Structure 1
């Protein structure tokens, strides 16, 4: 079994144990005044019923509708107002009580089919970030392509190595090894290699996008829903920091213009694809400001503090992770305690 897979599995066990420890010790209550910010931006991807397939290496990116319902109920019980992303800058500057904003990345059809009824029942405003290529049915969901390749294959070859993928454990190990190797290198290499694997396995990459992502007509209809704000998630969902400045600027600027033209409304918010420090940093923050976005969100973990009002193009988010669908996990996340530890006491991570 791959050491990377063992490391990943160990990491997830440690995180899960950490959530349980926070709940068991009451740290989510007695440390919260120190750790908790003014609010938080919650991050979601897929919302859909649980699937029986045991091989789901991207399961962290999906939660069940029931967990979304429980999460929103708990957030309100903990005293948080659920507010539109448009209100976040003013709340950071002026206060007004603890708050959360809800964000959904990529534009998945299940956000409409499974999340929307729950959001409506809670009268909860939300933002959906749209990648224009996905809306056109032409993009690359490469992490899902990789999952499907390994699901269908007995082995894959990577840089002279053979990664077996016959058994459940082998498939998880192959995914972890390939994902780590490809993510660490140039993005064109990642897309080229996974694309070639898809061709060999007979996987229609465009069909995958069209089956999962809303098309333009569906997004236009959905955008009429009360409480929904549409934001931009670039043209092609690249790891922006791995590309030259002209490419990053085009992705950030042109996606905003295309979505605005398609929907006939101003686009005020951006989510950086992948969004970690290796994918979005000071250059991307500057480009988002220059493009005129009111806010831009990362995947750097953390709560929001008043000082974030001066860094609206580098806002952190709290991932509601599909591997930890429990009240203890949500309480821990909303307490801010995990981020106090993760960020070593720093309130801002904007460099």
Structure 2
């Protein structure tokens, strides 16, 4: 398996240009929202997607920065959404909201993927302050310390090493990672491999490389992900909902039919055991087109789940009443933590521009 590795300088320039374009689009959308030029795009509301909520931690190499927002930005975002007239609802209420089709009562729901400990320690107090319900999608194999977070492993390995050797299943490949540009280019090239047909072998190859550099991927999982006891404590909170996010965080479209069913069924079973409640929702890992499609939507429906969410950004609309297992979500992205950008997202205008918002999670 050969990586599609871009020239380091080109990879960095491409990422910087993309962020610049997105920021510009959000600025224009925010201005249009404030001047009343975009209300026709607002739809019935939206479902937000978060991952980490934690205080800013400056890093020399931070490829996962988009996955982290600060508690202060979450605070500002929730306040702004309510000020804009959006009503916070539990995720389970979204199908009814789109069926009712009342543009005069726009809603928003908040979801957080993977089960990070900071969701309990740093996000919960913010949700309590605003009285906003939220859903944490839990990867059960992370909680049980059976699987690792490859993107976190890669970040720590590439930050620490000037050169890495990784065997993706067909022999070791060596990569220079001495400069920030080299690290960024390799990290970007890893993503399609780690979400492709040989993803589990590729992740194990990355884990082996990390262990060879003195980095234990399971220790990273233990540092970042809630324990079963912490999940049970969070589940008891009246604002919190815990729902399944697979066992291994595998890209479901790339696995066989049996593994697809098993990933859904086993993760539902664990959440049922930990919360004492019947699961009603599901989040597809990564959630974009090549990782979750019609087969996966049918599988969550057949498993008896009421709804499932992707990472494909869009406003909610009446059309989603017919597709509750293919609901869109909008990321609160760590690169764009300005309250006026919340206005832009809530306006719906950015989603009229192809490719403006990153399709990932």
TM-score normalized with structure 1 length: 0.93
Cα deviation, residue 28, structure 1 = 6.1
SS of the aligned residue for 2:312 comes to strand
Instruction: Provide the residue aligned with 1:71 in structure 2.
Output: 77
Mapped to 2, the partners of 1:179 and 1:86 lie a distance apart of 31
Cα deviation, residue 9, structure 1 = 2.2
SS of the aligned residue for 2:353 comes to helix
After superposition, the C-alpha distances for 1:35-64 in whole angstroms (9 at most, x for unaligned) are: 221010000000000002231100000000
Mapped to 2, the partners of 1:28 and 1:253 lie a distance apart of 45
The answer to whether structure 1 residue 6 and structure 2 residue 18 are counterparts is no
| Cα RMSD (Å) | 2.0
Picking from 56, 62, 77, the partner of 1:56 is 62
SS of the aligned residue for 2:119 comes to helix
Instruction: Provide the residue aligned with 2:212 in structure 1.
Output: 200
Alignment of 1:180-329 (within 5 A): 180=192, 182-183=194-195, 186-329=198-341
Pick closer, same or farther for the CA change 1:180–1:291 going to 2, 3 Å.
Answer: closer
Cα deviation, residue 27, structure 1 = 5.2
Give the stretch that moved more between structures: 141-150 or 324-333.
Answer: 324-333
Cα deviation, residue 31, structure 1 = 4.5
Mapped to 2, the partners of 1:10 and 1:196 lie a distance apart of 34
Which structure 2 residue ranges, 5 or more long, are not aligned?
1-7
Give the stretch that moved more between structures: 116-125 or 176-185.
Answer: 176-185
SS of the aligned residue for 2:324 comes to coil
Cα deviation, residue 173, structure 1 = 2.8
Mapped to 1, the partners of 2:355 and 2:19 lie a distance apart of 18
The answer to whether structure 1 residue 92 and structure 2 residue 98 are counterparts is yes
After superposition, the C-alpha distances for 1:53-103 in whole angstroms (9 at most, x for unaligned) are: 231100000000000000000000110000001111111111450000010
Maintained 8 Å contact 2:311/2:328: yes
Which structure 1 residue ranges, 5 or more long, are not aligned?
none
Instruction: Provide the residue aligned with 1:332 in structure 2.
Output: 344
TM-score normalized with structure 2 length: 0.90
Mapped to 2, the partners of 1:105 and 1:72 lie a distance apart of 18
The answer to whether structure 1 residue 47 and structure 2 residue 64 are counterparts is no
Cα deviation, residue 329, structure 1 = 1.7
After superposition, the C-alpha distances for 1:224-253 in whole angstroms (9 at most, x for unaligned) are: 101111111011110000111111111112
After superposition, the C-alpha distances for 1:318-339 in whole angstroms (9 at most, x for unaligned) are: 1000000012321111111111
Cα deviation, residue 254, structure 1 = 1.8
Cα deviation, residue 181, structure 1 = 5.0
Mapped to 2, the partners of 1:256 and 1:307 lie a distance apart of 27
Cα deviation, residue 177, structure 1 = 3.1
Instruction: Provide the residue aligned with 2:150 in structure 1.
Output: 142
Instruction: Provide the residue aligned with 1:17 in structure 2.
Output: 24
Alignment of 1:84-163 (within 5 A): 84-96=90-102, 97-157=105-165, 162-163=174-175
SS of the aligned residue for 1:316 comes to coil
The runs of at least 4 aligned residues of structure 1 exceeding 6 Å deviation read: none
Mapped to 2, the partners of 1:284 and 1:118 lie a distance apart of 33
Mapped to 1, the partners of 2:13 and 2:288 lie a distance apart of 23
Mapped to 2, the partners of 1:2 and 1:337 lie a distance apart of 32
Pick closer, same or farther for the CA change 1:184–1:292 going to 2, 3 Å.
Answer: closer
Mapped to 1, the partners of 2:83 and 2:232 lie a distance apart of 33
Cα deviation, residue 124, structure 1 = 0.5
Cα deviation, residue 168, structure 1 = 2.9
